[in-house]
Structure 1
């Protein structure tokens, strides 16, 4: 009996140590998870840059960290200089540009919906129309875009009636996501064709995933990207739609509307950034190190310093 009690005691001590180790490991994992979810710099506050626009949209960062964004009702593209926090007019008229994105050659790509076109604006401000239609009809109105590593362009084509259009019905029956392959002028529909209103779009830096918001359906989807540019394996990423979108180096995806809502790569919400405007339209990472979150919201633009940084 004495030997059995000693045996129980000798077994109990290692089990207690094992349980303690599990508790410590769980605590370390929780602390690491909390650290991984920290995305805003210590002490950082949302900073108003300027508020003298009509409606801001489409921020795109260049290789220097400067941001170009649109003031669509006033038909102009603005430029924010990261070095001195100044804003100046870059281009007017600007084809009623909405979403913007830079390609790897330093050209500014624009969803120019005055005439339902996709533009390339070179550094000298020369404009090339990349595409203006699909299957013999005009596009509905390109809205937002993302460029893959091959130079192909994904863009959303919802329908928002514009005061500068003479037509009042969508030219395309479906509101789709398109892919314009490099060296071509004819886009093709990729992914699904049952969107209510596709809007925000962003891809992962490795070119394997594409996120597309169906803003009217209040959903954002994740797609796998094939080598030929086609999309497959649609998965629900978040029960939330979005106007504009961006992604950081940890794979967190930033959605807009009521401020900025941030989801980790698994689709779990980790942060909400309030913005004092009735609508937050779009976002990108800016600055030389891409650690400044640049936010367009109604008649204003804001910045917020981050721990994470943007990626292409």
Structure 2
């Protein structure tokens, strides 16, 4: 007899049952945000940092005692975050119109703020490759109004995806042809880069999908870009992959889990639209979920995909 799952889970493909537990439910950890985004897990301290963009603050959840507090305010309307190879916080700043890094001493280093002499729009989400390079999306959300940044006109004239070295340097445009590029993540072996396009926010019948690109042997060029998955509920935004290559993505009705072959396996249902997710906890098997006003978490039978060694990565 198949043990019934909690109503938080919806099984669409039988493989999803191997990724969730029948005795587990979703926990609400915090509420009070206007738009929760950009979770990043700090393993050494066992805490999570995330953004509350319109309230111009970053929040911190302490996994050791379950408390939440303000991590930084004001915060330049930061959106997405990640942790680099040295354990430093890397952030996308809407109001700063840049990608910055918080050093171990608390000082701020700007890694990327312009492309070919033109200011970036409003970096949105960011991922670190095993060679230390920083890859980020640059839609216009932070300059569209004063709600999540400062209203301004785009200087680059497009919304694209860029790459920069770990210590800054020239910003490279690695992918274009998007309406609003958003979340991005590498496959476990870094041979693929997935990028969401949430262009339906700006044009009628605009994109609501995730595209998949192949990473060249040089580790920096991209090819392909076919649609990997179309959203059936709201928009895909931020997402992460597990060690098996399954993709856990935000959506309008919760978190959707896709197999590497593009099959929708199942959903984690939530009462709020989800913006972003990340794996955390001591075993990296707890999925933290930023959903509109709240931070949620749920244990799953999957773990965060680790970075391959630089020598084995493409």
The alignment's TM-score, normalised by the length of structure 1, stands at 0.84
Alpha-carbon distance in 2 for matches of 1:166, 1:208: 36
Which of 70, 73, 85 is the aligned partner of 2:51?
70
Instruction: Measure, in 1, the Cα distance between the counterparts of 2:58 and 2:127.
Output: 18
Contact map agreement 1:82 1:286 (CA 8 A) in 2: no
Q: Tell me the CA shift for residue 111 of structure 1.
A: 0.2
Are the structure 2 counterparts of residues 203 and 166 from structure 1 closer, same or farther at C-alpha, using a change threshold of 3 Å? closer
Q: Between 131-140 and 177-186, report the one with greater CA deviation.
A: 177-186
In structure 1, the residue matched to 2:208 is: 218
For residue 139 of structure 1, report the CA deviation from its aligned partner.
0.4
Matches for 1:195-214 after TM superposition, within 5 Å? 195-214=178-197
Q: Secondary structure at the match of 2:170?
A: coil
Task: For residue 166 of structure 1, report the CA deviation from its aligned partner.
Answer: 5.3
> C-alpha distance in 1, partners of 2:82/2:15?
31
**Range with bigger deviation, 262-271 or 228-237:** 228-237
SS in 1 for 2:169: coil
Query: Using the alignment, how far apart are the partners of 2:154 and 2:52 within structure 1?
Result: 23
The CA deviation string for residues 24-77 of structure 1, in whole angstroms up to 9 with x for no partner, is xxxxxxxxx945752112311111111122221000112234211011122221
2:16·2:266 contact (CA, 8 Å) conserved in 1? no
Q: Following superposition of structure 1 onto structure 2, how do residues 119-158 of structure 1 map, counting pairs within 5 Å?
A: 119-158=100-139
Whole-Å separation in 2 of the counterparts to 1:308 and 1:95: 34
**1:39 counterpart = 2:19:** yes
* CA distance in 2: counterparts of 1:238 and 1:37, whole angstroms: 21
Instruction: Give how far 1:230 is off.
Output: 1.3
Note if contact 2:43-2:281 (Cα within 8 Å) is conserved in structure 1.
no
Q: Name 2:204's counterpart in structure 1.
A: none
Shift of 1:167: 4.4
Matching of residues 1-312 of structure 1 within 5 Å: 34=14, 38-64=18-44, 65-160=46-141, 161-163=144-146, 167-191=151-175, 193-216=176-199, 217-226=207-216, 227-240=218-231, 241-258=235-252, 259-277=254-272, 279-312=273-306
Partner residue in 2 for 1:26: none
Alpha-carbon contact 1:58-1:144 (below 8 Å) kept: yes
Tell me how far apart the structure 1 counterparts of residues 130 and 174 of structure 2 sit (CA, whole Å).
17
Aligned to 1:9: none
TM-superposed CA distance for 1:182, in Å, is 3.2
Segments of 5+ residues of structure 1 without an aligned counterpart are 1-32
Say whether the 8 Å CA contact 2:188–2:242 is kept in structure 1.
no
User: TM-score when scaled to structure 2?
Assistant: 0.84
User: Who wins on radius of gyration, i.e. which is larger?
Assistant: 1
> Structure 1 residues 109 and 311 mapped into 2: Cα distance closer, same or farther (>3 Å)?
same
Which protein has the bigger helix share?
1
Q: Write the deviation string for residues 223-248 of structure 1: whole angstroms up to 9, x where unpaired.
A: 11122411112222112351111111
Check 1:306–1:228 CA distance in 2 against 1; reply closer, same or farther (3 A cut): closer
- Aligned pair count? 278
Contact 2:38 2:80 in 1 (8 A): yes
- SS of the equivalent of 1:79 reads strand
Deviation at 1:124, TM superposition (A): 2.9
